[in-house]
Each structure stands twice: as C-alpha cells, then as structure tokens.
Amino acid sequence: MMAIPAFTLARRLRAGETVFSGWCSLPYPIVAETLGREGFATVTLEAQHGLWDIGALLTGIAAVRQGGAAAVEGGIAAQYAPSWRRACLNDQVGRE
C-alpha cells in the first residue's frame, strides 16, 4: 500500500507561499483525487454551490488526501456543522 504524503499546507501558508487549489463541484471522489494528483496543494470541495453533501464530503476528503493534497471544504460544513469543519482544519494544521 502506498504511503500518504505528509501535510504541507500550513507550513507553506506560514512561509508566505502562493498556494493553488483545484476546485471541484462534482461530487465524485475520483475527480477530487485526480485534482490532488495533478499537483494542486489543496483541492476545494465546493459544497455550497456544488453537489457535495456531508456523506460525499467524507469520502471526498479521504480521496483528496490519497491524491496527495489537503482538502478544503467550501460551504456546507461551515453552515451545518462548524465544529466538524474546525476539527478537520485543526487536524490538518496540527500534523505540521
């Protein structure tokens, strides 16, 4: 089994780097994973105006990580589950 690369997003942001994010409104984890494999540091799963729901987001976040990028959720978690979103972000930053 392939090892998942270490998180680098928080370190890169602290260093003042420009970080590009792939944008994914389609609720298909394989699309999100592919964006992560294409070299984007982050992949934004657009749930506010896209088609992602909470169940798909959970799978999508795992797929983005498998692709080597950090997942950023845009929309639904902030509205319906702010503590869940904070926990995901804290977990990503905490691994630095």
Unique residue bearing structure tokens 């959970």: 58
Q: Where are the domains of the chain?
A: 19-94
**Residue 29 to residue 63: CA distance in whole angstroms:** 6
Under the phi-then-psi rule, with left for phi > 0, alpha for psi from -120 to 50, and beta for the rest, what region is 71?
Answer: beta
Per-residue pLDDT of the chain (96 residues; tens, 9 = 90+): 566 656 678 888 888 888 889 999 999 999 999 999 998 989 999 888 778 888 888 999 999 999 999 998 876 555 555 555 555 555 554 444
Neighbours of 63 (CB within 10 A): 24
**Residue 71 to residue 87: CA distance in whole angstroms:** 13
Which pLDDT score is estimated for 96? 43
pTM to 2 decimal places: 0.71
Residue pair 70/42 in contact (Cβ under 8 Å)? The answer is: yes
